[in-house]
Amino acid sequence: MRTRTLLLLLLLLLLLLLLLPLLLPLLLLLLLLLLLLLLLLLLLLLLLLLLLLLLVLLLLVLLLPPPPPPPPPPPPPLRLLLLLLLLLPLLLLLSPLLLLLLLLLPLLLLLLLLLLLLLLLLLLQLLLLLPLLLPLLLLLLLLLLLLLLLLLLLLILQLLLLTLLQLLILLLLPLLLLLLLLLHNHHHHHHHSQ
């Protein structure tokens, strides 16, 4: 039992080692896909945050009371100053987000390129494995052909044996007839002499 389990474990290890070159790119592909999904989610969150900030800004601008009628010497409009004061912290908040977005976009492109490369590698690997599988397929075909040839040989041998038996019977029949005739004659002659 122990030897059986050891053999099974060894077979499984061999199978894993054989499948590892195939499984490794697949695992990398899955990891890259997960990274892509995470980055996309992050981008969506950042965009949502930007939209929320813009909405807040719009609401603040809309809710501000209209400026009083300006006196003849026009001072800088209060709304514009307030807008600038609001925009400055917003810009300070948004600048790292925008930078992050700008950084994430090339990362996404790089990840997409990596995915394409991995897919190409997988295809190449399958094409490279094809020459390994081809001899096996040819071997199987040859074995099948050999089996068919053996069956044909057995059929031919059987036919030959049958024909030989038929020939033997055909050859022996006249001899048997002759023997029977001779015996009959001999018996008849012996009976006549008595």
Q: What is the pLDDT of residues 164-187, one digit of tens each?
A: 887 887 788 778 778 888 887 776
Whole-number CA gyration radius for the chain: 48
Residue 88: what pLDDT?
67
Digit-coded pLDDT (tens) for 116-150: 877 887 777 777 776 776 777 777 778 878 887 88
Confidence at residue 68, expressed as pLDDT on a 0 to 100 scale: 61
CA 117 – CA 119 distance, rounded (Å): 5
Name which of 53, 57, 38 is nearest 96 in CA terms. 53
pTM > 0.95: no
Q: What is the pLDDT of residue 99?
A: 67
What does the domain layout of the chain look like in residue ranges?
30-61+81-193
Q: How much of the chain exceeds pLDDT 90, in percent? A: 0
- CA 77, CA 65: separation in Å to the nearest integer? 12
Q: Distance (Å, rounded) from C-alpha 102 to C-alpha 100?
A: 5
Q: Which of 2-11, 67-76, 82-91, 142-151 has the lowest mean pLDDT?
A: 67-76
Mean pLDDT of 3-28: 80
CA terminus-to-terminus distance, the chain: 87
- Are 60 and 111 in contact by the 8 Å Cβ rule? The answer is no
DSSP-assigned states of every residue in the chain: -HHHHHHHHHHHHHHHHHHHHHHHHHHHHHHHHHHHHHHHHHHHHHHHHHHHHHHHHHHHHHHSPPPPPPPSS-PPPHHHHHHHHHHHHHHHHHHHHHHHHHHHHHHHHHHHHHHHHHHHHHHHHHHHHHHHHHHHHHHHHHHHHHHHHHHHHHHHHHHHHHHHHHHHHHHHHHHHHHHHHHHHHHHHHHHHH-
Residue 194: what pLDDT? 61
